[in-house]
Amino acid sequence: LEQEITAAIEAATDEPALEEVRVSALGKKGKISELMKTLGKMSPEERKEMGPALNGLKGRVGDAIAARKEILKDQALNERLKSETVDVTLPTRMGSPFEGRVHPIAQVTDELTAIFADMGFAVAEGPDIEEDFYNFTALNFPPDHPARLEHDTFFLPVDAEGNQKVLRTHTSPVQIRTMTSQEPPIRVICPGRTYRCDSDQTHTPMFHQVEGLVIEEGIHMGHLKWTLEEFCKAFFEVDSVKMRFRASHFPFTEPSMEVDIGCQRVGNELRIGEGDDWLEILGCGMVHPNVLRNCDLDPDRYTGFAFGMGIDRIAMLKYGMPDLRAFFNGDKRWLDHYGFRP
Ligand code: PHE
């Protein structure tokens, strides 16, 4: 009988068929159940032998059915998956009229990354949710320094380790993260999102910067000027660029400068590189000795330069996009117009 039932279990090819087998063996009127009923009429000796035998049979048949059920379930799922797969590599039937666009920020980030890569710069990254220590303290902003206030910082709660968290107000904290995790020579750019509590025609609470950092023996301002000039020529696709370095102040560079590029308005068009108007595009300077010390680097041995540039800013200039806010409000018509083909 056991062989007969086992064979029937194996022969069942789906769950309803298996259920039929179960009923015919273990159901109220099933074969095993009928046998169990005969126990009552047996002599005690017979019952002592047949009772455990029948119970064992009942158990084994129950187990075999459960195991078979699992297998059938798996098979059914596999079948379903097979018949319901979608081949995402197939072309659309009519050629979609809704082709996506690359956002100008992504496009410009790719462009500038390629230009700096040609000059030997690697890309470094850091978190958007940053610690006060990296965003300010290690960058030589003393605890109550007024420059902290100029940053319109979004403060977040203090974390479990007691660190004040902030949304990073610039990409400069990535300088610290790089110098504390990597040995000189260092040559990196750090593009990414930055945040300040500020909003008007030319400011959005979230915007983008690209940081540059070079640390090596013997680095001087000539290297900084050359790097920025070569970048501007390549980025704005012009043979020469008028640039102006104005004295400025950042706690983490000494000396500090702001850089303007020459430009000229011709009708509706803005020509970059020539002309009598100036546009500010970045802040820069030589890395402050205190910053090097904060990162365990010897300022008598190493020098370096850093710069920070607004990506949104240079994207607007290069591609003639007038309103910064349109970058981030997700209007598809704007993206269709200013976006790039993938
Ligand atoms: N982090 C500065 C800012 O956001 C820019 C900067 C970067 C200045 C690197 C000097 C060196 O304004």
Q: Which ligand 1 atom minimizes the distance to the CA of 212?
A: 9
For residue 39, count other CB atoms closer than 10 A to its CB: 13
Substitution site in 170, 224, 227 for ligand 1 pocket (most atoms within 8 Å of beta carbon) = 170
| Pocket flag, ligand 1, residue 32 (CB < 6 Å) | no
Q: What is the pLDDT of residues 7-34, one digit of tens each?
A: 889 898 988 899 999 999 988 888 888 8
Q: What is the pLDDT of residues 149-183, one digit of tens each?
A: 888 999 999 999 999 999 999 999 999 999 999 99
Is 4 annotated as ligand-binding? Answer: no
Q: What is the pLDDT of residues 250-295, one digit of tens each?
A: 999 999 999 999 988 888 788 888 888 898 999 999 999 999 999 9
With a threshold of 0.95, does the pTM exceed it?
no
Substitution site in 172, 227, 252 for ligand 1 pocket (most atoms within 8 Å of beta carbon) = 172
8-12, 36-40, 206-210, 236-240: least confident range? 36-40
Does the interface ipTM go beyond 0.90? yes
pLDDT at residue 43 in the model: 86
Q: Could you say which DSSP state residue 50 is in?
A: H
| Pocket flag, ligand 1, residue 136 (CB < 6 Å) | no
Substitution site in 252, 290, 292 for ligand 1 pocket (most atoms within 8 Å of beta carbon) = 252
Over residues 207-216, mean pLDDT: 98
Q: How much distance in Å is there from the Cα of 306 to the middle of ligand 1? A: 8
| Pocket flag, ligand 1, residue 253 (CB < 6 Å) | yes
Confidence tier at 96 by pLDDT (50, 70, 90): low
| Burial category of 312 from C-beta neighbours within 10 Å (exposed 0-12, middle 13-18, buried 19 and up) | buried
pLDDT exceeds cutoff 90 at 90? no
Please say whether the beta carbons of 149 and 191 come within 8 A: no
Q: Could you say which DSSP state residue 340 is in?
A: B
Q: How much distance in Å is there from the Cα of 246 to the middle of ligand 1? A: 14
| Pocket flag, ligand 1, residue 313 (CB < 6 Å) | no
Q: Please name the residue whose Cα sits nearest to atom 12 of ligand 1.
A: 283
CA atoms within 13 A on the CB side of 193: 10
Over residues 222-246, mean pLDDT: 96
Over residues 106-115, mean pLDDT: 98
Q: How much distance in Å is there from the Cα of 273 to the middle of ligand 1? A: 22
* Side chain identity, residue 254: E
Over residues 82-105, mean pLDDT: 81
pLDDT at residue 147 in the model: 79
Pick from 174, 136, 176, 134: nearest CA to 152? 136
Over residues 116-125, mean pLDDT: 98
Q: Which ligand 1 atom minimizes the distance to the CA of 172?
A: 1
Whole-number percent of the chain with pLDDT over 90? 65
| Pocket flag, ligand 1, residue 305 (CB < 6 Å) | no
pLDDT at residue 199 in the model: 83
Task: Say how far apart CA 81 and CA 17 lie, in whole Å.
Answer: 22
Q: What is the pLDDT of residues 303-324, one digit of tens each?
A: 999 999 999 999 999 998 888 8
pLDDT exceeds cutoff 80 at 98? no
pLDDT at residue 245 in the model: 97
Q: Which helix (H) or strand (E) holds 286?
A: strand 277-287
Over residues 38-61, mean pLDDT: 88
Give the Å distances, CA to CA, from 140 to 19, 195, 252, 304.
Answer: 76, 20, 6, 15
Over residues 188-202, mean pLDDT: 91
What are the structure tokens assigned to 162, written together? 């007691």
pLDDT exceeds cutoff 90 at 69? yes
Over residues 199-206, mean pLDDT: 85
pLDDT at residue 95 in the model: 62
pLDDT exceeds cutoff 70 at 97? no
pLDDT at residue 301 in the model: 98
Q: Please name the residue whose Cα sits nearest to atom 2 of ligand 1.
A: 308
Q: Could you say which DSSP state residue 69 is in?
A: H
Residue ranges of E strands in 100-252: 122-123, 129-131, 155-158, 164-167, 186-195, 206-216, 243-250
pLDDT at residue 47 in the model: 87
Whole-number percent of the chain with pLDDT over 70? 99
Over residues 188-214, mean pLDDT: 93
The angle, 0 to 180 degrees and rounded to 10, between the axes of the packed helices 104-118 and 311-319 is: 100
Q: How much distance in Å is there from the Cα of 294 to the middle of ligand 1? A: 17
What are the structure tokens assigned to 7, written together? 């064979």
pLDDT at residue 146 in the model: 80
Q: Which ligand 1 atom minimizes the distance to the CA of 175?
A: 9
Pick from 127, 101, 123: nearest CA to 114? 123
Q: How much distance in Å is there from the Cα of 250 to the middle of ligand 1? A: 7
| Pocket flag, ligand 1, residue 285 (CB < 6 Å) | yes
DSSP line for 134-175? HHTGGGT--TT-GGGGGG---EEEE-TTSPEEEE-SSSTHHH
The angle, 0 to 180 degrees and rounded to 10, between the axes of the packed helices 221-236 and 104-118 is: 130
Distant-in-sequence, close-in-space partners of 190: CB < 8 Å, separation ≥ 6: 123, 124, 125, 126, 171, 174, 175, 178, 210, 211, 212, 213
Q: Please name the residue whose Cα sits nearest to atom 9 of ligand 1.
A: 307
* Side chain identity, residue 171: T
Q: How much distance in Å is there from the Cα of 259 to the middle of ligand 1? A: 11
